[in-house]
Amino acid sequence: MWDRSLENLVVRNTRQTFDRICKNKDVEQFTPDPYLATLMNCLLWLFYGLPIVHPNSFLVITINSIGIIIETIYLSIFFLYSPPKKRLKILIVVGFEVAFVASVVVGVLLSAHTYEDRSRIVGIICIIFGTIMYAAPLTVMGNTNDDSTQYLKTIKGKVIKTKSVEYMPFTVSLVNTINGCCWLSYGLIGNDPYVTIPNAIGTVLCIFQLILYLCYYKSTPVKEQNVELPAAATEN
């Protein structure tokens, strides 16, 4: 039940972001990176959980199947209200993700003939993209004084420079931390290093966000505190 409860919490917090986007009909300075990273992560973990790769992984299949549906909805909304450049980025990245996952599926099924080999290959790939998923919310897209120039900067840099946690709400960071701890425990109990490693790294990244929040939340103007940061989903 913990997986469903955490998923509901993350969805509820992320939905606030999309309620704002739909209301304003503009994605403003939000970035699709977390949703793109989570979609890739869910696709890979879904393949990992299939009986032909890693038997007895029903929970992994269920959660990531739901995650794919949720991320598809979020990306569709984001695409609808994005400017042309962001739309092009979404199309290119999603196309790459589908092609990459398809190549992984074909390559693994043709080259690996045991559960152990398939689990190892797909598991290593999942570790890489699982870590990317947790790190994705640490990026925000902003505008410089020149509106035609955009730059990518980490939340750490933005928070420290502006002394504001506008794009790093406490509830999202807290839920993601708890989620990471739960999946970390799941991996440890099941003696599955491919679940354990990315969620251990993800938990550390989420704790880092909480520390930054505690350091700078008092200096954040009240009017800014309702802005939501796209959250990493509850999937591995």
Q: Pick the residue with more confidence: 120 or 223? A: 120
Give me the phi and psi of 24, to 5 degrees please. Answer: -85, -10
Instruction: Mark 158-190 as b/e (b = at least 16 C-beta within 10 Å).
Output: bbeeeebbbbbbeebbbbbbbbbbbbbebbeee
Q: How far apart are the first and last CA of the chain?
A: 16
Dihedral through CA 152, CA 155, CA 158, CA 161, nearest 10? Answer: -130
The burial of 11, by beta-carbon neighbours within 10 Å (0-12 exposed, 13-18 middle, 19 or more buried), is given as middle
β-sheet bridge partners, residue 150: 143
pLDDT mean over 79-102? 93
pLDDT mean over 183-202? 92
pLDDT mean over 183-195? 91
Q: What would the pLDDT profile of 57-75 be if each residue is shown by its tens digit?
A: 888 899 899 889 988 998 9
What does pLDDT average to over the chain? 78
pLDDT mean over 22-51? 87
User: CA 19, 161, 23 angle in degrees (round to 5)?
Assistant: 10
pLDDT of residue 39: 92
Selection from 129, 128, 132, 151 nearest residue 140 by Cα:
151
pTM over 0.85: no
Give the model's confidence band at 137: pLDDT under 50 very low, under 70 low, under 90 confident, else very high. Answer: low
Task: Please state, in angstroms and rounded to a whole number, the distance separating the CA atoms of residues 67 and 181.
Answer: 18
Task: Please state, in angstroms and rounded to a whole number, the distance separating the CA atoms of residues 227 and 217.
Answer: 13
Q: Pick the residue with more confidence: 91 or 164? A: 91
Contact predicate 138/155, CB 8 Å:
yes
Q: What would the pLDDT profile of 159-172 be if each residue is shown by its tens digit?
A: 666 666 665 667 76
Q: Is the pLDDT of residue 151 over 70?
A: no
Give the model's confidence band at 198: pLDDT under 50 very low, under 70 low, under 90 confident, else very high. Answer: very high
Task: Please state, in angstroms and rounded to a whole number, the distance separating the CA atoms of residues 126 and 57.
Answer: 15
Quick one: what percent of the chain has pLDDT higher than 90?
A: 36
Does an H or E element contain 156, and which?
A: helix 155-162
Give the model's confidence band at 92: pLDDT under 50 very low, under 70 low, under 90 confident, else very high. Answer: very high
pLDDT of residue 170: 72
Task: Please state, in angstroms and rounded to a whole number, the distance separating the CA atoms of residues 68 and 169.
Answer: 24
